[in-house]
Structure 1
Amino acid sequence: MKKDIEIPKVKNVYIAIAKEWNEDFSSNDWNVYLVNDSREAMESVMIMSRGKHDDGRKTATFRHAFKVVAAKSSIKVELIMPEVFGFENEFILTYFQNGKLYDTVFTAPPHSINEESATNAPVMDIEAVVLNP
């Protein structure tokens, strides 16, 4: 029954959004990273990202899959454009760890992605906007 279903709490996993220099295009780009600050690898990782605005506009939905994200590491997920920073940006994460299924949502409220909100990101040792589940 429903009471028998265990839904484990996601811990030590973050979404980090960092502004970085892009050598190829000679520009500062914002990139989304998945950060695994736990002692165990994440397996069969799936991330879905989307944005929605108060006026009804929506962004495209992006889906990403990674076989493994090692313990105490990060992986680049996608480029995020500043034009969608006024949207509520949502990152839905699903993965397996130690044989258990984890599922959580990270939300960046409108206008929360900016350089002033950046802090030191775990594992990465760079300044980034860090989202908690």
Structure 2
Amino acid sequence: MKNDIIIPKVTGVYVAVVNEYNSIYKTQDWNAYIINDQDVDLDMVLIVTSGYSKQKTTSVFRKKLDKLPAKSYAKIELMQEALFALTNKFQVTFFEGNTMFEKTYTFRENTINEKALQPIPLMSVKGVLVK
């Protein structure tokens, strides 16, 4: 029975944390994004996020996107800098056609910082990317 279960590998879908200017509040904010760098749309995207360390655990945050078009991205959440001292986990599940995909993206503690910024695919900004 286990041999009948096929778990496809996720490619072309990333999670990035980006430091960007908020023109409404005139602040620099850290925002998490999901990026679809594939040529196909993703349907029913479910994202479950949480942060943890040996001493602390955050509450669980859930977000659903009905569709994430090909070569696009969507904001997941605003992240407070205090969360960067924790390991932050993004569990992403989505459908591509009739096939379900699942992947966990993990930002280890203290890896989200300005020294780790790099160009982010499809976005004209720099951030911290997990593939």
After superposing on structure 2, the runs of 4+ consecutive aligned residues of structure 1 that deviate more than 2 Å are: none
- Whichever residue aligns with residue 92 of structure 2, its letter is L
The DSSP-based 3-state class of the residue aligned with 2:85 is coil
Question: Following the alignment from structure 1 to structure 2, what is the Cα–Cα distance between the partners of residues 122 and 23?
Answer: 23
Alignment of 1:44-83 (within 5 A): 44-55=44-55, 57-83=56-82
TM-score w.r.t. structure 1 length? 0.96
- Distance (Å, rounded) in 2 between the aligned partners of 1:118 and 1:48: 24
CA distance in 1, matches of 2:83, 2:10: 26
- Counterpart residue type for residue 20 of structure 2: E
Question: Is the deviation greater in 118-127 or in 66-75?
Answer: 118-127
Distance 2:112 2:98 in 1: 34
Structure 2 residue runs without a partner (length 5+): none
Partners of 1:68 and 1:8 in 2: how far apart? 20
CA positional deviation for 1:121: 0.6
Alignment partners' CA distance in 2, 1:125 and 1:96: 27
Q: Which residue of 2 aligns with 1:116?
A: 115
Q: CA deviation at 1:65?
A: 0.1
**What percent of counterpart residues are identical?**
33
For residues 1-133 of structure 1, what are the structure 2 equivalents within 5 Å?
Answer: 1-55=1-55, 57-132=56-131
5+ residue gaps, structure 1, are: none
